[in-house]
Amino acid sequence: MSRPRVTTACFAAISFCWLIGSPLPGVLSTTTIVSAADNQQDHTAAATITPTLSRIDLDDFRGRRWKLDDFDSDQFLVVAFLGTECPLAKLYAARLQTMQDQLATKGVRVIGVMSNRHDSLLDITAFANRQEIKFPLLKDAGARLADELDARRTPEIYVFDRDRKLRYRGRVDDQYGIGYVRDQPRRKDLQAALEELIAGQTVSIERTDAVGCIIGRKKTVSDSSEVTYGGQIAKLLHRHCVECHREGEIAPFALTDYEEVAGWADMIAEVVRDQRMPPWHADPKHGSFENERRLTDDEKQLLYDWAEAGAPAGDLTDLPTLPEKVTGWQLPREPDLVFHVSPEPFTVQAEGAVKYQYFRIAPNLEKDVWIHAAELKPGNRSVVHHILAFAVPRGSRELNGARGFLVGYVPGMRVAPWPDGHAKRIPAGSELVFQVHYTPIGVEVQDHSQLGICLLDESEVTREIVTTSAVETNLRIPPHEPDYRADAAGPRFPDDAKLLAMSPHMHVRGKSFRYALESNQEVLLSVPEYDFNWQTTYVLDPPLELKANDRIICNAVFDNSKKNLNNPAPEATVRWGDQTEDEMMIGYYHLSVPRGDTPAGKTGAERRRQMVERAIRLATFDRIDQDGDGSITKAETPRRLHKIFAELDTNRDDILTRREVEAK
């Protein structure tokens, strides 16, 4: 496994998080709402909604001029403000097309309006083709129609009746919001409004808050501003953003061209002010991290001042040169071994939740191999939320991924080899299992990811990289519980071990996570607002030297209440499971230890063997303990395990507790 480096340049690792943020993200990555205050309730009823649509007079991307008269035969007009690069606009455009197809015979007509200054006709054409949009897509030059209707976001929806009176304004549904992403919407606001209108009824909820990207209008530029794109902003973006926000990279749009950046100026200021960007969740009071992503207060103020001044260009003749773009593998050289994650390309559907996918391959390794660097390379970065690769014994049906993994990928990760002499081992005869989490983007696409491995000759290996964890699989989170606590301890440290990095893992009910040393209670990492959408690995700078026989204690808190807007089912009792509707409590961490078959590493090798045995015992215990009370009887235990049961039952009462298993 390579050192996981998530660079400060990755301003938007996952497109929805940029928009939705973390209380923060978001698959997902780039959404916002009118204001945090507006989001206190699911909808805001307008006192009066009286605007009338009196004209359109806009050209589509093919050059046709559309007027209001062109829609005389339509009973209801759905005017949707969209943007070519806004992740939510991409998702909802597909839903709007489906709605148009289903309701056209009932007099419903959808019209897409593009008001962003930076959305060219060429961009709109590509958007229409990519999203397979058949309804009219109109370029609103100068945002004239957006101004007349006071539209602020993409997507933002306006529904007009036969008399072209406004009857509904707001979001399509409530699947996405500040700090949450739901697998399915709880209320389909637009659909409900249309069904009520078609039935001749009054719309029950006339106004909701639109969630999405701010419309990039051309604004009056301050002539007196000391902050300009050419003077400060381009350099700031160059330092922190463009490694990801550039053509062909993981971010949903590029920040490399003045006109493009100016169109996003207000959005950039908003997500920075709301602390949704840069995505970094570690409490600054604890730990020093190589991959920390932060802007200084002065840098933040530059962005605010520039947006407030109307995004002045300044001198564009001396812009910074873009950093060299990573093409192909990020590995230090061409990989020695390459494996496809899935046997065939995997099709990711346009919408809805995609269950975790598991793929298994046999690399046919006849001897142990040592990994100096490894990279999981997504075939389609726009839909790959994360990938984990595990090495398991041949024929094993047990993943045991809670204890450790071989290599992982999350958006924004940058790969670097381990230090000289360091490597991670894949035992001979292992099979590789890949866990892949996909997130739809509004169009059906395919992914065929790969794993590339650079090997180190066995004679050069002096230290082994071991990924292990503090894990609690015996979860039983009660319904509506806002502060369910789970604690776990990792294996004892071997001699001469160093802590390299930590990777907390929970699902959507995760609230906070903390790592500490058992010996002195020193907090190594605190994540007070855990965010499932950012699977961050926190890389220590420098690595921490550890005392033999000490260990890591992890504390996690889960929120299974209605206040957790990510929560798919507050009424459910939640247990351990792979899917996002289940939960996990895993405090992964990465150690550097002496190689096991060298004189200095004999003790370490024995302890690592004990780690694995303990992890297997705990996983087996948790499977038998179906009622989750932390104890099992001999009668409940399969006969083939009675000998092990007797060894672990130290007080000989024929009842085995989890604490007895942990203590062994």
Residue-wise pLDDT tens digits, 422-464? 999 998 888 999 999 898 887 889 999 999 999 999 999 999 9
Label residue 46 by pLDDT band (50, 70, 90).
Answer: very low
Neighbours of 311 (CB within 10 A): 28
Q: How crowded is residue 37: how many other Cβ atoms within 10 Å of its Cβ?
A: 10
Positive or negative torsion for Cα 592, 596, 598, 604: positive
Q: Give the Cα-Cα-Cα angle 63, 66, 70 (nearest 5 degrees).
A: 140
Axis crossing angle, helix 87-103 with helix 121-131, rounded to the nearest 10 = 60
* Other Cβ atoms closer than 10 A to 648: 17
pLDDT band, residue 397 (cuts 50/70/90): low
Q: Are 209 and 33 in contact (CB under 8 A)?
A: yes
Which amino acid is residue 228, in one-letter code? T
The 3-state secondary structure of 239-290, one letter per residue = HHCCCCCCCCCCCCCCCCCHHHHHHCHHHHHHHHHCCCCCCCCCCCCCCCEC
Task: Report yes or no: 136 and 66 within 8 Å, Cβ to Cβ.
Answer: yes
Q: Which of 351-365, 486-500, 571-585, 617-631 has the lowest mean pLDDT?
A: 617-631
Pairing of strands 510-517, 450-455: unpaired
| Position 664 confidence tier, pLDDT thresholds 50, 70, 90 | low
Checking if the pLDDT of 6 tops 50, the result is no
Mean pLDDT of 348-356: 84
* Region of residue 363 (phi > 0: left; psi between -120 and 50: alpha; otherwise: beta): alpha
Q: Would the pLDDT of 16 be above 70?
A: no
pLDDT of 25 strictly over 50: no
Burial, 387: exposed, middle or buried (Cβ in 10 Å; 0-12, 13-18, 19+)? Answer: buried
For CA atoms 302, 6, 460, 331, the dihedral sign is negative
What is the maximum span of the chain, computed from C-alpha positions, in angstroms?
87
First CA to last CA distance, the chain = 29
Higher pLDDT, 172 or 392: 172
Phi–psi pair at 130, nearest 5 degrees? -65, -45
Distance CA 309, CA 303 (A): 10
Residue 601 is predicted with a pLDDT of 42
Q: Is the peptide bond before 528 cis (omega within 30 degrees of 0)?
A: no
Can you read off the two tokens belonging to residue 426? 């894949």
CB 18 within 8 A of CB 12: yes
The per-residue pLDDT for 413 is 72
Tokens of 449: 């990811």
Model pLDDT, residue 644:
82
Q: Give the pLDDT confidence score for residue 398 in this predicted structure.
A: 58
Which tens digit of pLDDT belongs to each residue from 179-210? 677 778 889 999 999 999 999 999 999 999 99
Tell me the pTM: 0.74
The predicted pLDDT at position 638 comes to 84
Q: How far is CA 8 from the centre of its chain?
A: 16
Higher pLDDT, 6 or 450: 450
Residue 599 above 60 pLDDT? no
The reported pLDDT for the residue numbered 19 is 57
For residue range 104-132, list pLDDT tens digits in order.
Answer: 999 999 999 999 999 999 999 999 998 89
- Grade residue 37 by pLDDT with cuts at 50, 70 and 90: very low
**How does pLDDT run across 282-317, given as a tens digit for each residue?**
999 999 998 888 899 999 999 999 999 999 999 999
Number of continuous H segments (helices) and E segments (strands) in the chain:
12, 35
Backbone angles phi, psi at 6, to 5 degrees: -105, 110
Residues 496-511 have pLDDT tens digits of 999 999 999 999 999 9
Distance of CA 538 to the CA centre of its chain: 15
Of 118-122, 348-352, 470-474, the poorest mean pLDDT is in: 348-352
